[in-house]
Amino acid sequence: MRFPSEEDGKGIWELVKSTRVLDLNSAYSYLLLSKYFSDTCVVADVEGKIVGFVSAFHPPMQADVIFVWQVAVDEAFRRRRLGMNMLKHLLAREICSNNRYLEITVNPSNQAAYSLYYQLAHELKTSCVEEECFPSRLFPGGQHEEEIMLRIGPLI
């Protein structure tokens, strides 16, 4: 597990696309994350192939929160705790040392994500609280589920 670089942008985009579950953002967004937010993102690679990615950032005006945007794991590496290990790797970084909360949004149908985040809260011996974040009516096209905010913490 390591910090991403701009060279990883294409591989990250391909990984997210291959999940067929996560919202695929533009290739440019993954380049931006890798260049400007590398300190809060994690790449897992095996022999040069990106098999895992966590994108995260500190929301403006919330210095004690780390917001996880996406956790992507290659299908061949699922059910091996890679997602969990990447999240713990992120939280162990110096940049996250003062974070009290981890926040992430999840689609209600993404049971794998729910399981991951509730398990993370359990392993960190803290709580996970849910609240509505983005109702489906805010998304264009009427085809997107609502997004539920999960708030894990306090972390310290």
Number of domains in the chain: 1
Contacts of 110 (CB under 8 A, 6+ apart): 21
The answer to the question of residue 92 being in a domain is yes
Least confident among 18-22, 27-31, 55-59, 117-121 = 18-22
The answer to the question of residue 120 being in a domain is yes
User: Model-level pTM greater than 0.85?
Assistant: yes
pLDDT in tens, 20-50: 888 889 999 999 999 999 999 999 999 999 9
User: pLDDT class for 129, splitting at 50, 70, 90?
Assistant: very high
User: pLDDT class for 128, splitting at 50, 70, 90?
Assistant: very high
Looking at every residue in the chain, the average pLDDT score rounds to 94
Tell me the CATH number at 58: 3.40.630.30
Domain range spanning residue 70?
6-153
The answer to the question of residue 105 being in a domain is yes
The answer to the question of residue 1 being in a domain is no
The answer to the question of residue 143 being in a domain is yes
Per-residue pLDDT at 156 exceeds 80:
no
The answer to the question of residue 46 being in a domain is yes
The answer to the question of residue 62 being in a domain is yes
